[in-house]
Structure formats: C-alpha cells, structure tokens
C-alpha cells in the first residue's frame, strides 16, 4: 500500500516532474518555482513558532491556505507549476512583513533552503510585478491588508 504524500512532498514531486519536461528548466521563473516547497515549509514552521506574534500568524494562515487551495488567482490546475508564482509572491510578502516586525533570526532558523532567505524575499518582491502583472500583484497584496 503506497503511503499518501503530504502537500509538501506532492508539491516537490509536481515541480520535479515539470522541470524534467523539455524546456521547463529554461523558464525564467523556474528558479522561483523550485522555491515553492521550501517557502511552504517555512510558512508552516513559523505558524507553529511561539515567538511569532499572533497577528503575523494570521497572515501565515492566509498564505498557507492560499498555497493549499486549488482555487486562487493563478490556478496550478490550469497552467501547472507556473501557477505557483502567485503563491510564492504572497509567501514572500508575508515573510517580509514578519521580518519587519520580529527578529529575522526567528525566520532564518526555520529556513530549509540553501540560499540566503532575506535576499530571496527581496528578489521575489522586486520581480513580483513583472511575474504577475501589476493588477494581479495588487490583488494578492490586498489579501493580507
């Protein structure tokens, strides 16, 4: 009997399958898409950390729900892993908010990725408008306000 994959494992599997398709690695957003499982993991870990303020945990809950929900502004079911760009952008937006209101070390201790998290967040936020379009990016940010 095959064990059911959890969301994190299933997400990694989908992204790896996509990356193995011809041309997918050449997508200018492939690097961001590869971050999706690690960003999701970080959101979950921070939501369980007692050092994260409750108001920030509410934002984390929204970002986690957005990742898990099959219905969002760019649905993965329709366009595959490229549909994760809105999820990734929302995660970076929420993480940036937490960094600005808490000790960044709280976030760094839960980061499982191999790149500098603070630099990644800055880079994602800088490019979110281009990745999503300004109208969509504004709608995503409004989910948290």
**100-112 confidence digits (pLDDT tens):** 888 888 998 999 9
pLDDT of residue 74: 87
Q: What pTM was computed for the model? A: 0.90
Positions of the chain with pLDDT under 70: 1-5
pLDDT of residue 5: 56
Residue entry with tokens 């969301």? 7
pLDDT of residue 28: 86
pLDDT of residue 32: 93
């Amino acid at each position: 009997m095959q064990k059911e994959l959890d969301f994190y494992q299933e997400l990694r599997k989908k992204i790896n399958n996509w990356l193995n398709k011809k041309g997918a690695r050449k997508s200018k957003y492939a690097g961001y898409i590869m971050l999706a499982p690690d960003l999701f993991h970080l959101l979950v870990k921070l939501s369980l950390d007692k050092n994260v303020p409750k108001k920030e945990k509410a934002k984390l809950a929204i970002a986690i729900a957005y990742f898990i929900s099959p219905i969002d502004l760019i649905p993965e079911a329709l366009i595959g892993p490229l549909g994760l760009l809105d999820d990734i952008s929302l995660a970076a937006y929420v993480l940036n908010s937490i960094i600005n209101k808490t000790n960044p070390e709280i976030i760094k201790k839960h980061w499982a990725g191999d790149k500098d998290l603070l630099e990644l967040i800055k880079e994602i936020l800088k490019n979110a408008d281009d990745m999503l379009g300004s109208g969509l990016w504004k709608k995503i940010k409004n989910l948290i306000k």
